[in-house]
């Protein structure tokens, strides 16, 4: 008989732990989770925010423009190479070599310019992510204070936790309310 009682008690304890325990009830009533440790999915925090969506849309649009420019330049270079190839039979080898070397140098210069533009786009996106992280600190600090938390950890580095301590959705909503899409935020000066 005692074994059955212990099994039921263990099942009740497991159910409480799975449901978040007594703190879950208090958290649901007050709307704020009370936990010394909170988790957050930083990738989702950024990607789901209005700020992250705006930056991603702008990045994708800029990349699309760059790709269209690249296709246009590629077409021009193919045509130029074709014309150079057609001229070759009527030229002295030395004359052709000068034109071919000039064409190769032009292609290399264009590749370097295009790669630099892509790096600049990626750097701009990274700068926006840094600005986002700087701008959301007050929001995350307020969530920590309300929860009585000492730390917010990355959810991907946690082996097992109750879902109730993940504050990502709440943080996204608060960040959106505070900074919107972030288009009016200024990048801090680099020192």
Tell me, yes or no, whether 184 lies in a domain: no
* % of the chain beyond a pLDDT of 90: 76
Enter the tokens of residue 123: 């750097």
Q: Are 62 and 12 part of one and the same domain?
A: no
pLDDT of residue 6: 37
Distance from C-alpha of 173 to C-alpha of 41, rounded to nearest angstrom: 14
Tell me, yes or no, whether 8 lies in a domain: yes
pLDDT of residue 60: 96
Mean pLDDT calculated for residue range 122-138: 95
pLDDT of residue 92: 93
Tell me, yes or no, whether 191 lies in a domain: no
Q: Are 67 and 14 part of one and the same domain?
A: no
Q: Are 19 and 107 part of one and the same domain?
A: no
Q: Are 24 and 43 part of one and the same domain?
A: no
pLDDT digits (tens, 9 = 90+) for 139-166: 999 999 999 999 999 999 999 989 999 9
Q: Are 73 and 167 part of one and the same domain?
A: yes
Q: What is the mean pLDDT of the chain?
A: 85
pLDDT of residue 186: 75
pLDDT of residue 9: 32
Tell me, yes or no, whether 10 lies in a domain: yes
Domain containing 12 equals 1-31
pLDDT of residue 180: 94
Q: Where are the alpha helices (DSSP H) in the chain?
A: 2-19, 21-30, 42-48, 50-87, 93-147, 168-179
Distance from C-alpha of 136 to C-alpha of 49, rounded to nearest angstrom: 11
Q: CB under 8 Å, gap of 24 or more: what pairs does 75-84 form?
A: 77/106, 77/107, 77/110
Domain count, the chain: 2
Tell me, yes or no, whether 187 lies in a domain: no
Q: Are 38 and 20 part of one and the same domain?
A: no
Q: Look at residue 7 and tell me whether its pLDDT is greater than 90.
A: no
Tell me, yes or no, whether 9 lies in a domain: yes
């Amino acid at each position: 008989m005692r074994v059955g009682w212990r099994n039921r008690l263990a099942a009740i304890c497991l159910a409480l732990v799975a449901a978040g325990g007594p703190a879950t009830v208090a958290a649901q009533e007050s709307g704020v989770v009370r936990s010394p440790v909170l988790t957050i999915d930083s990738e989702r925090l950024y990607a789901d925010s209005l700020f992250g969506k705006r930056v991603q849309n702008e990045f994708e649009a800029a990349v699309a423009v760059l790709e269209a420019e690249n296709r246009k330049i590629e077409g021009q270079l193919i045509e130029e190479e074709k014309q150079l190839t057609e001229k070759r039979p009527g030229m002295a080898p030395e004359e052709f070599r000068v034109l071919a070397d000039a064409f190769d140098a032009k292609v290399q210069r264009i590749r370097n310019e295009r790669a630099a533009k892509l790096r600049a786009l990626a750097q701009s996106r990274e700068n926006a992510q840094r600005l986002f992280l700087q701008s959301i600190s007050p929001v995350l600090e307020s969530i920590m204070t309300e929860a009585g938390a000492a730390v917010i950890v990355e959810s991907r580095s946690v082996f097992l936790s109750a879902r109730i301590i993940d504050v990502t959705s709440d943080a996204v909503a608060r960040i959106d309310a505070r900074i919107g899409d972030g288009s009016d935020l200024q990048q801090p000066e680099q020192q």
